[in-house]
């Protein structure tokens, strides 16, 4: 193993640097291995977060290794760790160090492309800022102005990705049908910064967060409706680090509210067997398990079944922690395992509520050649079909 002290000259005090980056819980580890037992990587290849923790404790982290970039921040091992090692926080601290030294293995290079695009255009997809509202073409969605009830913040993937623009359009259609007073920021919206932070670029995260917070304040925003659990997580739990507090609602919660209040009425039938996949950042990280299921149960004709690993034990799609931008070889993608589970329980539709999950599942549907066997839908698309 190449010890980092030999490969990066100024790098001598790794434990101090980890500590300065917020990840000093490594030393509490007593090597029980419970983390490796639940980590989904060990279903597809060899990987040990326990070993990464051990190496960091002794200042022997090899920041040239792809392994420090492997964790999807799914949250499964921190909830099992008996010593509160905070694997995610500590793992991100290692990525910050690698980012500081600009040490990126080949598989991680796409993160640099995403960073450059975030700096230039406010999105990680190398798309133009001025096209950010193109998804809403022809839908008469207004620009947000002070006094409106809700800012709808679709986020980067729903704004630009052709598959996910359909989710943004379904959401806008639902809000309009229910008579919600909402607007969007369009080109003034920036990436929330959640994933680039988990990928180690703390300075870029801070820049994106400060710009968004200023835009929200300038426009008099109080309540923000989001489609991505990653936006939800960072607005709700991370932006308060900047003393910024807004009311944050995820669409899976809000659709349920609209149905309960009778503002949204479902008339069409959706006679399909559906399973709901809990996105890590909605479920495990934020405890939102029931609302998406309750909304789906209200759809006439829909049969809701459960996947074998659900709620707190949900199997990660593989797209968190910046992995959405990195190449994962076929055969090592968690999304393939999840689709197999959905097929095993006889589902016709794998429903979820996260743009990363949809991206990973749609990609695996294609590579596994199962597009005829199962569909992947955001819950808003199912609701829209039943309107
Ligand atoms: S579960 Fe916690 S204490 Fe056990 S090996 Fe993993 S990090 Fe260490
Ligand atoms: S957070 Fe998830 S992906 Fe990361 S090491 Fe833990 S179990 Fe594995």
Q: Does residue 75's CB lie within 6 angstroms of at least one atom of ligand 2? A: yes
Distance 363 CA to ligand 2 centre (A): 22
- Of 275, 273, 260, 347, give the one whose Cα is nearest residue 311: 275
Cβ 49 under 6 angstroms from ligand 2: yes
Nearest listed ligand to the Cα of residue 322: 2
pLDDT for the residue numbered 11: 47
Mean pLDDT on 182-189: 98
Q: Which two tokens mark 335? A: 């999304």
Ligand nearest to the CA of 74: 2
Atom of ligand 2 nearest to the CA of 39: 7
Asked if 274 and 347 touch (Cβ cutoff 8 Å), the reply is: yes
3-state SS class at 103: coil
Which range (8-17, 257-266, 285-294) has the least confidence?
8-17
Using the predicted structure, report yes or no on whether residue 87 has a pLDDT greater than 80: yes
3-class DSSP assignment, residue 303: strand
Look at 11-20, 36-45, 158-167, 280-289 and tell me which has the smallest mean pLDDT. 11-20
Residue that is written with structure tokens 């069409």 in the block: 268
Q: Would you state the structure tokens that stand for residue 286, as one six-digit string?
A: 């934020």
Mean pLDDT, all residues of the chain? 93
Could you read off the pLDDT of 216-246 as tens digits, one per residue? 999 999 999 999 999 999 999 999 999 999 9
Task: Give yes or no for residue 373 having a pLDDT over 60.
Answer: yes
At a CB cut-off of 8 Å and minimum separation 6, what does 62 contact? 1, 2, 3, 4, 7, 55, 68
CATH of 266-385, one of 3.40.50.300, 3.40.50.10700, 3.90.79.10, 3.30.450.40: 3.40.50.10700
- Ligand 2 atom 8: residue of nearest CA: 39
Binding site membership of 51 for ligand 1 (Cβ less than 6 Å): no
Asked if 327 and 305 count as a contact pair (C-beta separation under 8 A), the reply is no
Residue recorded with tokens 């964790």? 71
**CA 67 to ligand 1 centroid distance, Å:** 17
CA distances, 121 to each of 117, 131, 219, 283, 298 (Å): 5, 10, 20, 30, 40
d(CA 177, CA 190): 27
Q: How far apart are CA 65 and CA 73, in angstroms?
A: 17
pLDDT at 175: 98
Mean pLDDT of 120-142: 98
Which of 34-43, 85-94, 282-291 is the least confident region?
85-94
**Paired tokens of 168:** 């943004």
Interval between CA 31 and ligand 2 midpoint (Å): 15
Q: Whose CA is nearest to atom 2 of ligand 1?
A: 81
Q: Are 237 and 219 in contact (CB under 8 A)?
A: no
What digits encode the pLDDT tens for the residues 267-325?
999 999 999 999 999 999 999 999 999 999 999 999 999 999 999 999 999 999 999 99
38 lines ligand 1 (CB under 6 A): no
Look at residue 55 in the predicted model and tell me its pLDDT: 87
Counting ligands in written order, the one closest to the CA of 67 is 2
- 51 has pLDDT over 90: yes
Q: What is the pLDDT of residues 193-211, one digit of tens each?
A: 999 999 999 999 999 999 9
**Span of 18-22, 105-109, 151-155, 348-352 with lowest mean pLDDT:** 18-22
Q: What pLDDT band is residue 5 in, cutting at 50, 70 and 90?
A: very low
CATH class of 108-256: mainly alpha
- Give pLDDT, residue 23: 63
Q: Where are the domains of the chain?
A: 4-103, 108-256, 266-385
pLDDT of residue 182: 98
First to last CA, the chain: 59
CA of 10 to the centre of ligand 2 (A): 30
Indicate the pTM of the whole model.
0.94
Please tell me the distance between residue 53's alpha carbon and the centre of ligand 1 in angstroms: 8
Secondary-structure percent of the chain, ordered helix, strand, coil, rounded to 5: 50, 10, 45
Looking at per-residue pLDDT, the higher value among 2 and 151 belongs to 151
Quick check: CB of 81 below 6 Å from ligand 1?
Answer: yes
């Amino acid at each position: 193993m190449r010890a980092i002290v030999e490969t990066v000259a100024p790098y001598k005090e790794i434990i101090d640097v980890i500590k300065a980056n917020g990840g000093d819980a490594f030393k509490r580890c007593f090597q029980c291995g419970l983390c490796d037992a639940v980590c989904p990587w060990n279903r597809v290849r060899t990987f040990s977060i326990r070993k990464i923790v051990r190496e960091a404790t002794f200042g022997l982290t090899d920041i040239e290794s792809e392994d420090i970039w492997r964790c999807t921040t799914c949250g499964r091992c921190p909830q099992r760790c008996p010593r509160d090692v905070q694997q995610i926080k500590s793992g991100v601290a290692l990525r910050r160090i690698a980012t500081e030294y600009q040490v990126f293995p080949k598989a991680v290079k796409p993160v640099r492309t995403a960073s450059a695009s975030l700096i230039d255009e406010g999105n990680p997809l190398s798309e133009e800022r001025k096209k950010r509202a193109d998804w809403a073409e022809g839908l008469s969605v207004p620009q947000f102005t002070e006094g409106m009830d809700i800012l709808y913040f679709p986020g980067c993937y729903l704004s630009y990705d052709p598959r996910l623009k359909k989710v943004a359009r379904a959401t806008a259609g639902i809000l309009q049908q229910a008579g919600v007073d909402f607007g969007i920021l369009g080109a003034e919206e920036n990436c929330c910064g959640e994933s680039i932070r988990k990928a180690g670029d703390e300075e870029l995260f801070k820049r994106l967060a400060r710009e968004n917070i200023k835009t929200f304040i300038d426009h008099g925003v109080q309540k923000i409706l989001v489609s991505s659990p990653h936006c939800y997580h960072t607005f709700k739990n991370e932006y308060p680090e900047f003393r910024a507090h807004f009311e944050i609602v995820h669409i899976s919660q809000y659709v349920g509210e609209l149905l309960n209040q009778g503002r949204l009425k479902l008339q069409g039938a959706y006679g399909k067997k559906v399973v709901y996949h809990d996105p890590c950042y909605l479920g495990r990280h934020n405890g939102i398990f029931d609302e998406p299921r309750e909304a789906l149960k209200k759809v006439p004709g829909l049969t809701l079944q459960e996947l074998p690993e659900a709620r707190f034990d949900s199997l990660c799609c593989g797209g968190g922690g910046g992995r959405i931008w990195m190449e994962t070889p076929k055969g090592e993608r968690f999304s393939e395992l999840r689709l197999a589970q959905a097929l095993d329980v006889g589902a016709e539709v794998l429903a979820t509520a996260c743009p990363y999950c949809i991206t990973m599942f749609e990609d695996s549907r294609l590579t596994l050649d199962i597009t005829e066997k199962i569909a992947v839908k955001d819950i808003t698309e199912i609701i829209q079909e039943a309107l």
